């Protein structure tokens, strides 16, 4: 256990909730996630309403390749596990394990993004561009917005790792790590609905 990183004396067992500020950050973050739920809900609503409006360009059934989607799903699911392992390391005050699991999470996030970029370029080459149909526009808006969230998470967590290396684990830095973990899980939760509603239901028709 890296007691050298403790700011002043022993850290409490759940350092992210040790101060009122930390508690408020977590509560406020849940409120933000409630708003994010509405945001993605409206994007899903638009997509579900328009998913069969394909006057030109390929349809969902012709387009989607389920093995790529299964691989993306597996990557993101595993990254959600590694981010919960980071939160467990946080509760055990193990800074190196926390930063290590966060770094693994970032790597999985980058792999997911790379796969999504590859997928989108494939689609564009098959005539599925942003403006080709109402289906394609709502598809890229929904899935791209999720990808944007992954990108934001990758940048955010990378910066947190750098800050953690500099400042260590304190009651000030702990809520940041905890909240970033919640964000990453939320991204995975949204992806569960995306692979179900967009890809699997798209294949079903």
Partner 1 sequence: MSAHQESSSAAGQRHRHEGPKNHYLSYIVSIILTMLAFAAVIYGDLNRAFLLWFLVILALAQVIFQLAYWMHMKDRGHTYPILFLAMGFVTALTAVAAAVYWMWW
Total residues binding partner 1 (CB under 8 A): 55
Using CB under 8 A as the binding rule, whether residue 185 contacts partner 1 is answered as: yes
Q: Pattern 37-66, binding to partner 1, x per CB under 8 A? A: xx-xxx-xxx-xxx---------------x
Q: Are 199 and 70 in contact (CB under 8 A)?
A: no
Query: Judged by CB, which is closer to partner 1: 20, or 204?
Result: 204
In the DSSP assignment, the letter for residue 5 is G
* Pairwise CA distance, residues 203 & 205, whole Å: 5
Interaction of residue 200 with partner 1, rule CB under 8 A: yes
Residue 195 has phi, psi (to 5 degrees) of -70, -30
Nearest approach in angstroms of CB 95 to partner 1 is 13
Q: Which of 19, 59, 68, 78 binds partner 1 (CB under 8 A)?
A: 78
Tokens matching residue 108? 């999985």
Residue 1 found at the interface with partner 1 (CB under 8 A): yes
User: Closest Cα partner for 85 from 74, 73, 100, 106?
Assistant: 100
The CA-to-CA distance between both ends of the chain, in Å, stands at 54
Residue from 5, 18, 19, 36 touching partner 1 (CB under 8 A): that is: 36
């Amino acid at each position: 256990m890296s007691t050298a990183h403790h700011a002043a004396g022993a850290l409490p067992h759940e350092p992210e909730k040790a101060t009122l500020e930390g508690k408020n950050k977590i509560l406020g973050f849940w409120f933000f996630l409630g708003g994010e739920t509405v945001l993605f809900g409206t994007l899903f609503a638009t997509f579900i309403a328009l998913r069969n409006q394909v006057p030109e360009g390929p349809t969902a059934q012709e387009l989607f390749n389920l093995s790529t989607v299964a691989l993306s799903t597996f990557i993101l699911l595993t990254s959600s596990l590694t981010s919960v392992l980071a939160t467990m390391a946080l509760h055990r005050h193990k800074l190196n394990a926390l930063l290590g699991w966060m770094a693994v999470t970032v790597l999985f996030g980058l792999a997911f993004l790379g796969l999504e970029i590859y997928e989108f370029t494939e689609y564009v080459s098959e005539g599925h561009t942003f403006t080709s149909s109402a289906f394609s526009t709502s598809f890229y808006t929904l899935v791209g917005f999720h990808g944007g969230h992954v990108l934001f998470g990758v940048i955010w967590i990378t910066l947190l790792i750098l800050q953690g290396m500099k400042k260590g684990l304190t009651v000030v830095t702990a809520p940041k790590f905890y909240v970033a973990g919640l964000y990453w899980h939320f991204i995975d939760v949204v992806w569960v609905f995306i692979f179900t509603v967009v890809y699997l239901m798209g294949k079903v028709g």
